[in-house]
Structure 1
Amino acid sequence: MTIPTEPIGSIPRPAELLAAMAAHASGEIGDAELAAAQDQAVRDTIHRLEETGSPVVTDGEQAKPSFATYPVAGLDRLSPDGVVIPFADGHQRQLPRLTGGPFRYAVHADGYLRAALRHAGVPVKQAVIAPSALSLLYPADGIEGYPRERFLDDLATEAETDIRRCLEAGAHVVQLDFTEGRLSLKLDPSGGVLEQFVALNNRVLERFSDAERARIGVHTCPGGDQDSTHSADVDYAALLPRLLQLKAGAFYVQLASEPEPDKVLGVIAEHLPAAARVFVGVTDPIDPRVETPEEVRDRVLAAARHLPVERLGTCDDCGFSPFADDTSTSRDTAFAKIRARVEGTALAAQDLGL
């Protein structure tokens, strides 16, 4: 037995891809040229991930406009003035607003997965956006002729399809990105919005068998964009007991950047579902300093004092570039941190006699 280790998802885009994206947006190049630049970036990303020794890789989300909005890229019936997400450093991200129904995905994530599988020699995981995040597209004042419950029905069906298509295409695991979970407690400290999010995500997860759910995980973090977060000041103890009620086979939990990791691990241990594995974050993508393998090892050993080692895995705290225009972290730094995670996890496994 060893300790599994996986990336979360996004890797900073190379300069060539960013240039191609800008040229495509201005009409200087066409769709084929952009697709070629994206494929080359995916190829390079997977190659460099494999060079780190990573036993599982991703496409680095090189072709996604963002981790959150890929399903609605190019969709009509959208207005740009949706929910605003404020970050601690003052910058904001804004979601689009749905203006009519029925709601359908314009893009499904299995397309990204299939492109990655062509270049990978090891298992590939696929990140998808949680339906709870996309529920924020529906306006608070409703849509005439398209009530919220009908929207949620459509959303649940689309989210199920997104996950199922990835499983059927051969994903090692499908990871639901649920960064809005912690944010919801900042917006609504009563926990009411979080309860709605968990219920909606479980509404989708319940459609899968136990064997399928073993290949479905959930990632939580306080956001990580342009070296800032949107909800790191929210106490994990308010989130984790409800988060761990999600009917998933794995949980990917940001931990390296937490000021009190032992407290967090204690909460996880108390509420750990019977069959789930917890991947703890051992590298901080926001911190420009690259962790040493020994630091990673020590973080893994600390987690093993709280959690059964057979239920333990490691990951990065968050993706390194969840939005395509986020260049706050270099590709070289991202791959160096991933290498430290892989090597440090192996050191911990040795110390634990695995």
Structure 2
Amino acid sequence: MMIPTEPIGSIPRPPELVAALAAGDVPRERLERLYEDAVRDTVQRFEATGSPVITDGEQRKYHNFWTYPVHGAANTSPDGFQIPFAAGHTRRMPRLASAPFRYQRYADEFLAMAQRYATVPVKQAVISPSALSLMYPPEGLPGYSRDQFLADLLDEHETEIRRCLERGAYKVQVDFTEGRLAVRLDPSGGLLTSFIDLNNLALGRFSEAERQRIGVHTCPGGDQDSTHSQDVDYADLLPSLFNLKVGNFYVALAGETDPVRVLKIIRQCMLPGQRVFVGVISPIDPVVETPQLVRDRVLQAAEYIPPAQLGTTDDCGFAPFCDDLSTTRDTAFAKIRARVEGTALASAMLEGLS
């Protein structure tokens, strides 16, 4: 019995890449070399941890995991939806200023570069339609209805996932960090329900076999060692989350104050055929977990989730926004190694009990 283990996505970028992006006037050829060097180094260091599945560390995602598809679009404005973090800082989305909504790039281009260097399977994270739906201004746009915007958004999202699957992504992970945030913004649950429904419109376009290669990630957000919705009760999110039409769920757990309570909710809500990858590593905690601690977290999870439906992951990416240097690359890879080794220890123990 081997419990599968997968990363979420981002790894802190090398400082020289972060500096070049911040400068903004670096020649394109040099910037491309820095990107490629970062991807090559990330893949090599990822594989050195023993991780059976890797990502490209989101090294080439333009500025962040949230708005990379539309970064640089001429019909956007920087004064969009604002995300407040507990540490006091904020991040902003771009606002769609005019029709039409179109991606500037698809994530399969990031996947392709990682695959050039990887010798193990590579998964690819993509942003959810519900997150990008926040780009549409509340006052609307002349001649471009919200319904038409959503139709275009769903088409673009479907195209991105299909391109990643066709390019051989091991899994395509839909980032849904705004799920828990939606409960904070609208405690009635109406916003969350609309997000779930919108994402299911996209997921419903895929076959059952394809959906077994698609997953959804939820977390309280992570940026500069802070979160945007850690205090939102998982009980208000998880029952709706497991209605999403995917085969895999990546649920942040290591940072929770009462993981047993969350595991009990997961047990009540999860459905047959769904695999739940529980977070056993906290990326915003500077202390590197030991394999023994990870082992114990996996064994605890196995008391509530059938091992055949259990997996492990990190709570979140280590640097979802490219300028976040609060965690070093060395720390990120040390934590990943602990997850891999600790999951193997727990697997061996569960095998012995079966």
Q: Which amino acid aligns with 2:278?
A: V
1:345 maps to which of 329, 334, 343: 343
- DSSP 3-state at the match of 1:353: helix
- 2:172 pairs with 1:170: no
Q: Distance in 2 between matches of 1:31 and 1:149?
A: 37
- DSSP 3-state at the match of 1:251: strand
- DSSP 3-state at the match of 1:182: helix
1:161-200 correspondence to structure 2 within 5 Å: 161-200=159-198
Note the C-alpha offset of 1:78: 0.5
**2:115 aligned partner:** 117
Note the C-alpha offset of 1:130: 0.5
- 2:126 pairs with 1:131: no
**1:4 aligned partner:** 4
Note the C-alpha offset of 1:22: 3.2
Q: Distance in 2 between matches of 1:89 and 1:18?
A: 21
Q: Distance in 2 between matches of 1:31 and 1:89?
A: 34
Q: Distance in 1 between matches of 2:248 and 2:322?
A: 26
Residue-by-residue CA offset, 1:263-292 (whole Å, 9 max, x unaligned): 111111111122110000000001000000
Structure 2, gaps ≥5 residues long: none
**2:291 aligned partner:** 293
Residue-by-residue CA offset, 1:220-244 (whole Å, 9 max, x unaligned): 0000000000000100011000011
Q: Which amino acid aligns with 1:260?
A: D
Note the C-alpha offset of 1:16: 2.1
Q: Which amino acid aligns with 1:18?
A: V
Q: Which amino acid aligns with 2:284?
A: I
Q: Which amino acid aligns with 2:121?
A: P
Q: Distance in 2 between matches of 1:111 and 1:74?
A: 16
- 2:29 pairs with 1:32: yes
1:249-260 correspondence to structure 2 within 5 Å: 249-260=247-258
Q: Distance in 1 between matches of 2:305 and 2:153?
A: 35
Stretches (4+) displaced over 6 A: none
Q: Which amino acid aligns with 2:90?
A: Q
1:74-89 correspondence to structure 2 within 5 Å: 74-89=72-87
Residue-by-residue CA offset, 1:251-273 (whole Å, 9 max, x unaligned): 00000000111111111111112
2:55 maps to which of 51, 55, 58: 58
Q: Distance in 1 between matches of 2:58 and 2:161?
A: 16
Give TM-score scaled by structure 1 length.
Answer: 0.98
Note the C-alpha offset of 1:17: 1.4
Note the C-alpha offset of 1:87: 0.5
Q: Distance in 1 between matches of 2:192 and 2:298?
A: 29
Note the C-alpha offset of 1:21: 2.0
Q: How many residue pairs are counted as aligned between the two chains? A: 351
Q: Which amino acid aligns with 2:15?
A: A
Residue-by-residue CA offset, 1:69-102 (whole Å, 9 max, x unaligned): 1000111110111111100111000111001111
**1:149 aligned partner:** 147
Note the C-alpha offset of 1:156: 0.4
Percent identity, aligned pairs only, is: 64
Q: Distance in 1 between matches of 2:274 and 2:251?
A: 13
Q: Distance in 1 between matches of 2:228 and 2:16?
A: 29
Deviates more, 1:270-279 or 1:186-195: 270-279
Structure 1, gaps ≥5 residues long: none
Note the C-alpha offset of 1:344: 0.2
Note the C-alpha offset of 1:31: 1.6
Residue-by-residue CA offset, 1:310-338 (whole Å, 9 max, x unaligned): 11000000000000001111111100100
2:98 maps to which of 97, 100, 122: 100
Q: Which amino acid aligns with 1:289?
A: V
